[in-house]
Amino acid sequence: MREPTLAGLDKLDSLPEDLAVHLDRGYDSRATRALLAALGFDGAIARQGIPAPVQAGSRRAVERTHQWMHGYGKLRRCTEKLRPVVDFYLFLAAALVVLRQRIPRARTRYRWDTRPTSRRLK
Protein backbone atom coordinates (compact mmCIF):
# COMPACT_ATOMS: atom_id res chain seq x y z
CA MET A 1 0.00 0.00 0.00
CA ARG A 2 3.01 2.29 0.39
CA GLU A 3 3.66 2.80 -3.32
CA PRO A 4 0.07 3.49 -4.49
CA THR A 5 -0.54 5.84 -1.58
CA LEU A 6 2.58 7.90 -2.13
CA ALA A 7 2.16 7.84 -5.90
CA GLY A 8 -1.37 9.20 -5.48
CA LEU A 9 -0.15 12.30 -3.63
CA ASP A 10 0.88 14.05 -6.83
CA LYS A 11 -2.69 13.76 -8.14
CA LEU A 12 -3.99 16.03 -5.39
CA ASP A 13 -4.60 19.69 -6.15
CA SER A 14 -2.99 22.64 -4.39
CA LEU A 15 -0.13 20.85 -2.65
CA PRO A 16 2.69 23.00 -1.24
CA GLU A 17 5.95 23.12 -3.18
CA ASP A 18 8.07 21.78 -0.33
CA LEU A 19 5.98 18.73 0.56
CA ALA A 20 7.24 16.67 3.50
CA VAL A 21 5.87 13.21 4.22
CA HIS A 22 5.89 12.20 7.91
CA LEU A 23 5.96 8.44 8.47
CA ASP A 24 6.22 6.25 11.54
CA ARG A 25 8.82 3.60 12.38
CA GLY A 26 7.11 0.91 10.33
CA TYR A 27 8.16 2.64 7.11
CA ASP A 28 11.84 3.03 8.03
CA SER A 29 13.50 1.09 5.20
CA ARG A 30 15.69 1.67 2.17
CA ALA A 31 12.79 0.89 -0.15
CA THR A 32 10.66 3.66 1.37
CA ARG A 33 13.47 6.18 1.24
CA ALA A 34 14.19 5.28 -2.40
CA LEU A 35 10.49 5.65 -3.27
CA LEU A 36 10.32 9.07 -1.60
CA ALA A 37 13.43 10.19 -3.49
CA ALA A 38 12.02 8.91 -6.79
CA LEU A 39 8.77 10.82 -6.25
CA GLY A 40 10.62 13.97 -5.15
CA PHE A 41 9.23 14.15 -1.61
CA ASP A 42 11.12 15.06 1.53
CA GLY A 43 10.52 12.34 4.09
CA ALA A 44 10.64 12.56 7.87
CA ILE A 45 10.63 8.97 9.09
CA ALA A 46 10.81 8.12 12.77
CA ARG A 47 13.65 5.86 13.85
CA GLN A 48 13.82 3.23 16.57
CA GLY A 49 14.08 4.82 20.02
CA ILE A 50 13.33 8.34 18.74
CA PRO A 51 9.80 9.79 18.88
CA ALA A 52 7.98 10.38 15.61
CA PRO A 53 8.64 13.77 13.97
CA VAL A 54 4.97 14.74 14.09
CA GLN A 55 2.72 13.31 16.78
CA ALA A 56 -0.79 12.60 15.55
CA GLY A 57 -2.19 12.82 19.05
CA SER A 58 -3.56 10.24 21.40
CA ARG A 59 -5.16 7.42 19.42
CA ARG A 60 -5.68 5.21 22.44
CA ALA A 61 -9.23 6.40 23.08
CA VAL A 62 -10.25 5.83 19.47
CA GLU A 63 -8.69 2.36 19.30
CA ARG A 64 -10.25 1.39 22.63
CA THR A 65 -13.70 2.48 21.44
CA HIS A 66 -13.32 0.49 18.23
CA GLN A 67 -12.35 -2.52 20.31
CA TRP A 68 -15.51 -2.13 22.40
CA MET A 69 -17.61 -1.89 19.26
CA HIS A 70 -16.05 -5.05 17.82
CA GLY A 71 -16.73 -6.87 21.07
CA TYR A 72 -20.36 -7.36 20.14
CA GLY A 73 -20.74 -10.73 18.44
CA LYS A 74 -23.65 -9.73 16.23
CA LEU A 75 -21.47 -7.07 14.61
CA ARG A 76 -18.60 -9.49 14.02
CA ARG A 77 -20.86 -12.09 12.41
CA CYS A 78 -23.30 -9.78 10.67
CA THR A 79 -24.95 -11.64 7.81
CA GLU A 80 -27.83 -9.23 7.36
CA LYS A 81 -28.49 -7.97 3.85
CA LEU A 82 -30.76 -5.04 4.67
CA ARG A 83 -28.97 -1.76 5.36
CA PRO A 84 -31.44 -0.57 8.06
CA VAL A 85 -30.88 -3.76 10.06
CA VAL A 86 -27.10 -3.37 9.92
CA ASP A 87 -27.42 0.29 10.92
CA PHE A 88 -29.65 -0.72 13.83
CA TYR A 89 -27.01 -3.10 15.20
CA LEU A 90 -24.30 -0.43 14.87
CA PHE A 91 -26.41 2.19 16.62
CA LEU A 92 -27.36 -0.28 19.35
CA ALA A 93 -23.70 -1.16 19.95
CA ALA A 94 -22.77 2.53 20.10
CA ALA A 95 -25.58 3.22 22.59
CA LEU A 96 -24.47 0.31 24.77
CA VAL A 97 -20.85 1.48 24.73
CA VAL A 98 -21.91 4.96 25.84
CA LEU A 99 -24.28 3.58 28.48
CA ARG A 100 -21.62 1.26 29.90
CA GLN A 101 -19.33 4.27 30.32
CA ARG A 102 -21.92 6.58 31.84
CA ILE A 103 -23.20 4.23 34.57
CA PRO A 104 -19.94 4.02 36.59
CA ARG A 105 -19.43 7.77 36.27
CA ALA A 106 -22.97 8.42 37.49
CA ARG A 107 -22.37 6.16 40.52
CA THR A 108 -19.50 8.31 41.72
CA ARG A 109 -20.94 11.68 40.73
CA TYR A 110 -24.53 11.49 41.92
CA ARG A 111 -25.39 10.40 45.43
CA TRP A 112 -28.73 9.62 47.00
CA ASP A 113 -29.90 8.00 50.22
CA THR A 114 -30.88 4.63 48.77
CA ARG A 115 -27.88 4.39 46.45
CA PRO A 116 -26.59 0.80 46.15
CA THR A 117 -23.30 0.25 47.94
CA SER A 118 -22.13 -2.52 45.64
CA ARG A 119 -21.35 -2.33 41.93
CA ARG A 120 -23.68 -5.21 41.22
CA LEU A 121 -27.26 -4.22 40.52
CA LYS A 122 -29.86 -6.22 42.38
pLDDT band at 51 (very low <50, low <70, confident <90, very high): low
Report the C-alpha gap between 7 and 5 in whole angstroms.
Answer: 5
The mean pLDDT value of the chain amounts to 76
Q: Residue range 60-74: average pLDDT?
A: 75
The residue extents of the domains of the chain are 2-45, 60-109
The set of residues, in sequence order, having a beta carbon less than 8 Å from that of 94 and lying 6+ positions away, is 69
